[in-house]
Every structure is written in C-alpha cells, then in structure tokens.
A = this chain, B = another copy of it.
Amino acid sequence: MSKLKVYADRISQPSRAVLIFCKVNGIDFEEVRIDLAEGQHKSPQFQEINPMEQVPAIVDGRFKLFESHAILRYLAYTFPGIPDHWYPTDVSSQAKINSILDWHHSNLRVGGVRLVLNSALGPTLGLPLDPQAAAKAEKLVVSSLSKIETVWLRGDGKFLLGSSRPSIADLSLVCEIMQLEILDETVRDRIFGPREKVRRWIQNLKDATSPHFEQVHETLYEVKERLKREATPVKLKSKL
C-alpha cells in the first residue's frame, strides 16, 4: 500500500492540525503542498483529490477524504499505535469530543477566520479591512473563548476533556486560535489578557506536541513577521 498523502498548506489552520497529528504520532506520510496563494486548491488535479477545493485532504491507498475533523477521526481510528487519548474508544469521551468539534465550526472557527480577514489579512487578498465586521467577529471569538473556559476548562484538567492528555479537539481548536497570532498585539492583549486558562491550555498543548507544534507553525510566524515589516501587502491571494 502506498504511503498516506496529506495535501496541505501550513498557512491553513486545519492543515496544521492534521500535519501535527501525523508527526506527533509517527505516521509515515508524504506532505503535498497545495499553495493557496497560488490558487493550487482550484486546479483540476486537486479537484480530483477534493472537489470542495479546500485543504487539508488525504489520500490513503485508494481512499480520499476531506474535512480536517473527519480526517483526524479517521487517522486516529485506522492507523496502528495511535494513543487512545487522541480519540478515545470510550463512547462518552468520543461523544464529548465530537460535540466540541461540531460546536467549533459555528463559533471559534467563524469568529477567528473573520477577525483575521477583516483586521489583518484582507488587503493581501484584495479585500478591504472592515472594522465593523472585525468588531463583530472579535465579539464571537471572545464569547467562544469564554465558553471554552467556563464549560471545558472549568476543572483542573490540562485539556478540554478534563484529562491530562490532549484529544483531537484540543488540537483543532488550538490550531485555530494560533491563527490570531497575526493580529496586532493590542488586539491580542485585549482578547487573551483576561484568559489565563486559555493561555495555559495552549501552552499545555504546545508542550504535549513539541517540537512538531512550533515547527509546523513556522509558516504562520513568517507571515506575521512579513505583515509587520512590509508596507506592501504580503502575497496571499486566496482564502485561508
């Protein structure tokens, strides 16, 4: 059987989650870069892999799959030797993880993408910055982080399920939050300043997935530096 292929762009937060998962768990895979800025996700070749024109996507033998949460569940379930804590076989733990992953889409994900787009990355995609949309998105990010603290991080556990080891839900949500790195420091301070539990949780995930977490995030840190440095917009034409 041929090696697992992961089609990804490290500037995409769900791509990073899948890449980190594979690396941390020693999965033998090939990373195929789909350059979003070059529009490679819209090429006929990639449409054969994922007709939805999004990264990440995987090909495992003859099996093709898209959507990062579906991919994380599939990898955790089918690859040998993946520690149980990532997606426990225990029914209620698994259901709770699914519940967090499903909740994520309409909350942190929507808020995060819109906040980054409307307050930082817009011009690089030919879109104007929209302070009103940014303010609305920031409100959703803040309320989402507040829910994370009061619902899932309310106890003493290091991770969302209250346990000492991370799950695929921790990985997906933290990778989304990391995208906010490219916002202005003042905005970041406003969002994360009062969120000590969230800050500790992010650090716990970094520690649990070191050194892969920081390595896979290098692309994001580079974009952040270029955004700071350059007066002209960073080239990044397509949507994240």
Bound CA span A92–B103, Å: 23
User: A99 and B147: CB pair below 8 A?
Assistant: no
Most buried by B among A68, A69, A147: A69
User: B67 and A102: CB pair below 8 A?
Assistant: yes
Copies assembled: 2
Knowing A77-B91, A78-B91, the reply to whether A51 touches B151 (Cβ < 8 A) is: yes
Q: Is the interface of A mostly helix, strand, loop or mixed?
A: helix
What would 19 A/B residue contacts be, using CB atoms closer than 8 Å?
A: A51-B150, A51-B151, A52-B147, A63-B92, A65-B95, A66-B99, A67-B98, A67-B99, A67-B102, A67-B103, A68-B102, A70-B98, A70-B99, A70-B102, A73-B95, A73-B98, A74-B95, A102-B105, A105-B106
User: A95 and B70: CB pair below 8 A?
Assistant: yes
Q: Name the interface residues of A99-130: CB closer than 8 Å to any CB of B.
A: 99, 101-103, 105-106, 109-110
Most buried by B among A65, A70, A91, A109: A70
